[in-house]
Amino acid sequence: MTPLSILDLAPIAEGADAGQALRNALELAQTGERLGFRRFWMAEHHSMPGIASAATSVALAFVGAGTSSIRLGAGGVMLPNHAPLVIAEQFGTLEALYPGRIDLGLGRAPGTDRAAAMAMRRNLASDENQFPRDVVELMDYFVADPQRKVRAIPGEGLAIPVWILGSSLFGAQLAAMLGLPYAFASHFAPAAMMEAIRVYRERFQPSAQLDRPYVMLGFNAFAADTDEEAELLATSVMQAFVNLRSGRPTKLPPPLPSYGETLPPAARAMLGDVLSCSAIGGRATVKQAIEQFIARTGADELMITSQIWDHRARIRSYEIVADAMMPGGLARAA
């Protein structure tokens, strides 16, 4: 059985606020833990009205305090926004609090627009070699060395798995070279997915962390009791994508019946591309879509994300996915 995990962007729904979004994230993580999902990851985004996980390590600390076994991680930390030492200390702190449960996924995108990136980094000078250097520096802080002049405390000597995230061949090549697990953002940028998987697997070099390639793929799931209900739930993320691509990001809007039919052809084509790695429907429909995706990609693990406006419907979506793909999941959650 292919393991399933949860990616939560802590969506701030219309009519709610960031505090509610983070409390919802905790409930979702607790549900995922009971259902048998392997990981619960949160992602760093900035200046986004509909996403509450900007301070990713803080949000994960909150979730960790309310869970006991599910792995917690960043999917991911946008490393160009931070000094590697700071991230080593933050995730070292999380690992000290929740031993054996922390993952650190690293990406090289800013997780925002140019203005917000400038506000964080002050310098947007491009250096394609800086991200690999920062990854290696960060990993080195986790190596126990009392003679080091600069030490990550907490962090030093802790076994925190590092992942490389990506949506292009760059991340695939870097993950392969360093012998790290690779998470591809196919849930919103699937264009290079198959080529990135091929490059990663062909070029993988074993490391102390990992002896063989391991691919986790992002996947959207909008599951409900009927196909029609699921299709309606999915219109929230459709609206969010259209708003984002139009330069006006918003809170996650409520579902809008027949939304797709109102869009111009260009917008429909854009949604068809970004949501091509999705399962939308009732239990049987979702099960078939997920099984076909796994068969096509050979994914070692799926990271399921469900941007659904109504929190109860989002919880229900994950329950349906678990019932379809993880026998006994609902029984464990009862």
The whole-number pLDDT of residue 156 equals: 96
The whole-number pLDDT of residue 141 equals: 97
At the top level of CATH, the class of 1-160 is alpha beta
* Segment 257-274, tens digit of pLDDT: 999 888 999 999 999 999
- C-beta atoms surrounding 94 within 10 Å: 26
Measured CA to CA, the distance from residue 287 to residue 321 in angstroms comes to: 7
The whole-number pLDDT of residue 91 equals: 98
Q: Is the pLDDT of residue 213 over 60?
A: yes
Strand ranges inside 153-214, DSSP E: 162-166, 182-184
The whole-number pLDDT of residue 265 equals: 94
- C-beta atoms surrounding 157 within 10 Å: 14
Q: Is the pLDDT of residue 111 over 70?
A: no
DSSP-assigned letters across all residues of 115-152: HHHHHHHS-----TTHHHHHHHHHHHHTS--TT-SS--
Q: Is the pLDDT of residue 116 over 80?
A: no
Q: Could you tell me the pTM of the whole model?
A: 0.94
The whole-number pLDDT of residue 331 equals: 54
CATH 3.20.20.30 residue spans of the chain: 1-160, 214-334
Which of 65-69, 142-146, 176-180, 194-198 has the least mean pLDDT? 142-146
* Segment 157-195, tens digit of pLDDT: 999 999 999 999 999 999 999 999 999 999 999 999 999
- Strand 182-184, strand 278-281: pairing: unpaired
Residue 102 phi/psi, 5-degree rounding, is: -105, 135
Q: Which residues of 48-87 are buried (b: 16+ CB within 10 A; e: fewer)?
A: bebbbbbebbebbbebbeebeebbbbbbbbbbbbbebeeb
Which of 1-5, 170-174, 244-248, 285-289 has the least mean pLDDT? 244-248
Q: Is the pLDDT of residue 122 over 60?
A: no
Q: Which residue has the higher pLDDT, 113 or 282?
A: 282
* Assigned token pair, 110: 């800013």
Mean pLDDT over all residues of the chain?
93
The whole-number pLDDT of residue 110 equals: 63
- Counting residues of the chain whose pLDDT is more than 90, the rounded percentage is 86
Measured CA to CA, the distance from residue 183 to residue 234 in angstroms comes to: 23
The whole-number pLDDT of residue 75 equals: 92
Domain 214-334 falls under CATH 3.30.70.260: no
Mean pLDDT of 143-160: 94
* Segment 26-61, tens digit of pLDDT: 999 999 999 999 999 999 999 899 999 999 999 999
Report the SS3 class of residue 298: coil
The whole-number pLDDT of residue 12 equals: 97
